[in-house]
């Protein structure tokens, strides 16, 4: 059994998030479909984390296991030929069989951008929040001190999540 790690980039605008959902377009399902199409094997693609509907990723890590001796260096080309242009497999490497994208994840970075111009942007409109009213940078700088550092966000988790 070979364990393959992928680095994936996607524009989530047209998707209902990462996780497979019946009858809804999702990133995980699209990539699993492409893997099966290329390798002939049905796989479970494991991501380092899930994204919600409309969310983009520039370095999503995921892994899957296959039996077939498929040339690793050809995986990104093969998968990308089967995927929508809004999903790109940037690289593929074979990793230790114990590697698990979610459990071996050490860090996640989330970036939120506010476009504070009067008219906004056509090109980045789906990747930025547009706020045309002038922001008070002094007040924002005063408030930022409450966000710096490490914080426990457990209270924001769904009640069914026990971790």
First to last CA, the chain: 30
User: Can you point out the beta strands (E) in 22-117?
Assistant: 46-47, 57-66, 87-95, 114-115
Nearest CA among 70, 103, 75 for reference residue 2: 70
Phi-psi region of 133 (alpha: psi -120 to 50; beta: other; left: phi over 0): beta
In the set 11, 52, 136, 152, the catalytic residue is 52
Assess contact for 45 and 35: CB atoms under 8 A.
yes
The verdict on whether 69 is a catalytic residue reads: no
- Structure tokens, 74: 């050809």
Residue 79 neighbours by CB distance under 10 Å: 23
The three-state secondary structure class of 80 is: helix
Catalytic residue annotation: 52
């Amino acid at each position: 059994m070979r364990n393959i790690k992928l680095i994936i980039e996607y524009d989530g605008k047209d998707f209902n998030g990462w996780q497979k959902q019946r009858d809804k377009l999702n990133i995980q399902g699209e990539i699993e479909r492409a893997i099966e199409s290329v390798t002939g094997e049905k796989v479970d693609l494991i991501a380092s984390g899930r994204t919600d509907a409309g969310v983009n990723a520039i370095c999503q890590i995921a892994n899957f296991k296959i039996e077939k001796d498929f040339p690793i260096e050809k995986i990104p080309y093969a998968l990308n030929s089967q995927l929508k242009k809004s999903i790109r497999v940037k690289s593929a490497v074979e990793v230790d069989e114990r590697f698990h994208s979610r459990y071996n994840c050490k860090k996640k970075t989330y970036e939120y951008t506010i476009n504070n111009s009067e008219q906004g942007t056509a090109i980045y409109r789906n990747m930025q929040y547009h706020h045309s009213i002038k922001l008070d940078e002094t007040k924002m700088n005063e408030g930022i001190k409450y966000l710096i550092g490490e914080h426990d966000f457990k209270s924001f988790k769904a009640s069914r999540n026990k971790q």
